[in-house]
Structure 1
Amino acid sequence: MNFNFYMPSRVIFGSGSLSKLHQQKLPGKKALIVTGGTSIKKYGYLKRLEEELDKANVNYVLFDKILPNPIKDHVMEGASLAKKENCDFIIGIGGGSSIDSSKSIAIMAANDGDYWDYIFGGTGKGKAIPNDPLPVVAITTTAGTGTEADPWTVITNGNEKIGFGYDKSYPYLSIVDPELMKTVPPKLTAYQGFDALFHSTEGYLNKMASEMSDLFALKAIELIGKSLAAAVKDGNNMQAREDVAMANTLSGIVESVSSCTVEHSIEHAMSAYYPKLEHGAGLIIISKEYYTSIANAKVRDEKMVNMARALGKKDASKPMDFVDALVDLQKACRVDNLKLSDYDMKKEDLPAIAKNARFAMGGLFECDPHNFTDDEVLSILEKSYK
């Protein structure tokens, strides 16, 4: 047994846990609140956060420009505001895009230059980060990325959508309150749940997987197989919401100990070219062909069977049983008919997207259990296109 386990974030999990924020030791007296969209305001979550900060005697400034696929320009703008306002720490509230952006803003609020100076992959310069980031408090209102329990942040710069992170970019504190997830609509509940699922399946199949990551991954897969369809069907089903929220946080820990695979490289390239493509939707669209490729490659037969059983197919005996279980879950969540053409993706762009997957996120190719060629990546895209 060999593994390196490091997860320094304090995670406060449970319904109503946002109301405990003011009781925590917060890392400063002035925060930059980072969020996006209108749902945080519409459902009163921002107001509740502000009330908690008032109780804790913490001042705050709002930066609410974050996009569903967050961009480098907003990272730099948020960091500039944090510097101008002398903020001590960053609070990300919302989905993965807000929390990821908070981590990146925290890095640039404490350092000079351009964010892409520090990025590995693509046109990033891969420089060492001189100063520690500001502390980050993560308050997740979705169950998808697991970013509340890992150091990773995914930001887009032009046609490069690249994941980045290191030991200092873990959140200082994370609040996981399933009550905040009740208002996520069915479609997005499904998209986000499958993202969490694939963080776990990819982490389980990965070359970097260990006994430790396998424990978290299989439990996350089991919880999603048990409860995602129920959460999609009835957003007020709190048992289902809690199960999926727990799976999400576990999937973040999987990402901390293991890694993603080529599946995520491909989707990052897709949504870099087509930013309106939701990350989870893109993963769902390519997932059947990706996992069929893994099954046919015969590189993780036993683990594929284990995943199928965890997902609910108790009589699984062969790798393709996982693909069947995956498609069954997509049907149960009513996301089995997603099409790339729904997002105006052009078939003639697929070769460029395939090349971009390796150019921007080539590190994940090295972690994948199968040695994917560019032609195989293109084949996954072509077979997934409809």
Structure 2
Amino acid sequence: MNFSYYIPTRILFGKGQLSNLSAQELPGKKAMIVTSCGGSMEKYGYLARVQEQLKKAGVDYAVYNKILPNPIKDHVMEAAQLVRETGCDFILGLGGGSSIDSAKAIAVMAPNTGDYWDFISGGTGKDITPPVDPLPVVAITTTAGTGTEADPWTVITKSETNEKIGGGYDKTFPVLSIVDPDLMMSVPPVLTAYQGFDALFHSTEGYLNNTANVMSDMYALKSIELIGKSLAQAVHHGDDQQARADVALANTLAGMVESTSGCISEYSLAHAMSALSPQLVHGAALIMISREYYTRFIEMGACPERFVQMAKALGKADACRPMDFVDALVSLLESCGVDGLKMSDYFSLEDLKAISQNSRDTMGSLYSKDPMVLSAEDELIVLKKSYK
């Protein structure tokens, strides 16, 4: 019953909440709007709506729209310089996890000198605490996958060394987040699935994490329940408002799991995969290894009752054995049409050792959070069994 709880973000959740942005006490007079390079924010009118809300609030803005699906350090540094040049005093991340993660990293670098990797722990990072506090961040999420609107974490890749590492601390929590399911109706089916499983695994990892506590458990089980109930419906019927709202809430709850518990080695492995193959979507990487990853822990005898509880939350009401969770997971993968993803589309068998090594070199600290010790040999077994 011992836990530390700190989530300082004001969250506006629900249909139509974007229209309430102008009524909020915004943290500055000029925003740097950070969004992706894909053009969807313009296509669907989300950027224009945010700009309209800022104007209504008397807030000026500039726009940085180069963020990649797997965001890179070079863009963080470039955007931070633009923030200084344009006199922006807060950052507004608009889009999916990549845009909001980048917004947090840009907020760190805008008032600080040096290189972003100076402030990263792991890999070649220097693990320095930023001497100047980050600029405030406002998050407006248009996807349901990372939960970054409710946690302090940001994942950025250093391209020249293939290091994809999470960073963040108490001061990189967004001060305000808007979670409006209306903004998620345009997400294509396959991305809805990838993002939904990303949220699911944040919750399952947080539930199995050896730092799990009564607060994180509460958020995790509810998030798992909502995804089991509504993800397939959101994938196949993207205009279903209730399904979209359920998955959006599951995602925000998963971010709260990240804030009160955290990820385990599955997360590190998936990041290593997309660090070595940047075109691989993070959620897809997680899906590829998930079945064998959780099976391995069950075979090792890790926390059997927790696997049973996750199976029940995922919808298998009569679950009584740990493998019921894997069965329920596979059923959901099939229902969402993503059970056939192939690692061989991105990697050769010879790449598996490099994935394992990268995982431990960059975010190896997550292995200490596993429910049981996962050796390098165990890890390779998971990767080899997942390979197809």
TM-score relative to the length of structure 2: 0.99
Paired with 1:381 and 1:131, the residues of 2 have a C-alpha distance of 41
Tell me which amino acid in the other structure corresponds to 2:374: F
Query: Counterparts in 2 of 1:149-160, with a 5 A limit?
Result: 149-158=150-159, 159-160=162-163
Query: Counterparts in 2 of 1:158-177, with a 5 A limit?
Result: 158=159, 159-177=162-180
Query: Counterparts in 2 of 1:191-340, with a 5 A limit?
Result: 191-340=194-343
Tell me which amino acid in the other structure corresponds to 1:368: D
Paired with 1:18 and 1:71, the residues of 2 have a C-alpha distance of 28
Q: Deviations over 1:101-151 (max 9, x none)?
A: 000000000111000001000000111210110000000000000000000
Paired with 1:275 and 1:171, the residues of 2 have a C-alpha distance of 26
Answer yes or no: is 1:383 the counterpart of 2:388. Answer: no
Paired with 1:111 and 1:301, the residues of 2 have a C-alpha distance of 46
Residue 103 of structure 1: aligned partner: 104
Paired with 2:188 and 2:129, the residues of 1 have a C-alpha distance of 40
Residue 23 of structure 1: aligned partner: 23
Q: Deviations over 1:142-189 (max 9, x none)?
A: 000000000000000021000111000000100000000000000000
Residue 350 of structure 2: aligned partner: 348
Q: Deviations over 1:249-287 (max 9, x none)?
A: 000000000010110010000000000000000000000
Paired with 2:262 and 2:230, the residues of 1 have a C-alpha distance of 24
Deviation for aligned residue 1:81: 0.4
Residue 133 of structure 1: aligned partner: 134
Paired with 2:257 and 2:62, the residues of 1 have a C-alpha distance of 33
* Residue among 366, 370, 381 paired with 1:368: 370
Q: Deviations over 1:218-245 (max 9, x none)?
A: 0000000000000001000000000000
Unaligned runs of 5+ in 1: none
Residue 124 of structure 1: aligned partner: 125
Tell me which amino acid in the other structure corresponds to 1:167: D
Residue 5 of structure 1: aligned partner: 5
Deviation for aligned residue 1:86: 1.1
Deviation for aligned residue 1:74: 0.4
Paired with 1:66 and 1:381, the residues of 2 have a C-alpha distance of 30
Paired with 2:348 and 2:79, the residues of 1 have a C-alpha distance of 33
CA-based RMSD: 0.6
Paired with 1:378 and 1:144, the residues of 2 have a C-alpha distance of 27
SS in 1 for 2:88: coil
Query: Counterparts in 2 of 1:27-42, with a 5 A limit?
Result: 27-36=27-36, 37-42=38-43
Tell me which amino acid in the other structure corresponds to 1:9: T
Answer yes or no: is 1:63 the counterpart of 2:64. Answer: yes
Paired with 1:28 and 1:164, the residues of 2 have a C-alpha distance of 24
SS in 1 for 2:165: strand
Deviation for aligned residue 1:380: 1.1
Query: Counterparts in 2 of 1:41-52, with a 5 A limit?
Result: 41-52=42-53
Unaligned runs of 5+ in 2: none
TM-score relative to the length of structure 1: 0.99
Paired with 2:63 and 2:302, the residues of 1 have a C-alpha distance of 48
Q: Deviations over 1:353-384 (max 9, x none)?
A: 10110110011000011211112111211111
Deviation for aligned residue 1:341: 2.0
Q: Deviations over 1:3-35 (max 9, x none)?
A: 100000000000100000000000111010000
